[in-house]
């Protein structure tokens, strides 16, 4: 069951990253995904845009190194899911590939620079990323672990860790991209 939960989440992520919908990931797909994520940032927010692009570049390099088993410059769903579990989420890569994106995205989405995401900022962030407000608004409530009406940097990072690393089907972070099927 635990591997199935992660596999399901990684499959959802694969669909999200497969920007050209051809059933394979390529450098272009991850570059296009980075552009989508960078839309969260304000026009003058060059540092977070650069951090997002650099982290997606790091992620692609990990996929090429650990998942592109036939050397064709593409990563299949099966290769992606295996590499996510074996290398991208490994402690030596997780911060530079995944958490770097999360940190930059949170900083970019925090439009009033108060160090937290309000419900409005959170819903707007995920709407840019293609998640409907009908899914992101209830997710906000699950991710606001202390119930103070905002998502702190710690709570957001906890949600990202839940999504990528937790095998618990009820982990709050599983709702970042909408609910996963039970």
Cα–Cα distance for residue pair 155/152, rounded to 1 Å? 5
pLDDT at 178 over 80: no
Q: Work out whether strand 75-76 and strand 24-25 pair parallel, antiparallel, or are unpaired.
A: antiparallel
What is the model's pLDDT at position 182? 52
**pLDDT score, position 1:** 35
pLDDT at 84 over 70: yes
Burial label for 160, CB within 10 Å (0-12, 13-18, 19+), is: buried
Least confidently predicted of 26-35, 116-125, 166-175:
166-175
Provide mean pLDDT across the span 134-146.
Answer: 94
Output the pLDDT for position 124.
93
Find the largest Cα–Cα distance for the chain: 49
- Contact by Cβ (8 Å): 105, 52: yes
Enumerate domains of the chain plus CATH numbers.
2-175 (1.10.238.10)
The mean of the pLDDT values for the chain is 91
In the prediction, which pLDDT does 167 show? 87
Residues 6+ apart with CB under 8 A from 106: 117, 153, 156
């Amino acid at each position: 069951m635990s591997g199935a939960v992660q596999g399901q989440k990684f499959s959802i992520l694969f669909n999200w990253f497969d920007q050209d919908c051809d059933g394979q990931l390529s450098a272009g797909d991850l570059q296009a995904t980075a552009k989508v994520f960078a839309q969260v940032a304000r026009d003058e927010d060059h540092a977070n845009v650069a951090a997002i692009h650099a982290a997606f570049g790091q992620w692609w390099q990990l996929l090429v190194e650990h998942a592109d088993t036939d050397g064709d410059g593409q990563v299949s769903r099966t290769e992606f899911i295996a590499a996510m579990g074996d290398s991208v989420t490994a402690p030596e890569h997780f911060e530079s590939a995944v958490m770097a994106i999360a940190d930059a995205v949170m900083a970019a989405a925090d439009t009033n620079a108060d160090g937290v995401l309000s419900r409005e900022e959170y819903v707007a962030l995920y709407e840019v990323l293609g998640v409907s407000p009908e899914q992101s608004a209830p997710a906000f409530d699950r991710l606001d672990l202390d119930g103070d009406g905002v998502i702190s940097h710690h709570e957001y990072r906890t949600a990202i860790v839940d999504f990528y690393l937790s095998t618990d089907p009820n982990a709050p972070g599983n709702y970042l991209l909408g609910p996963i099927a039970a």
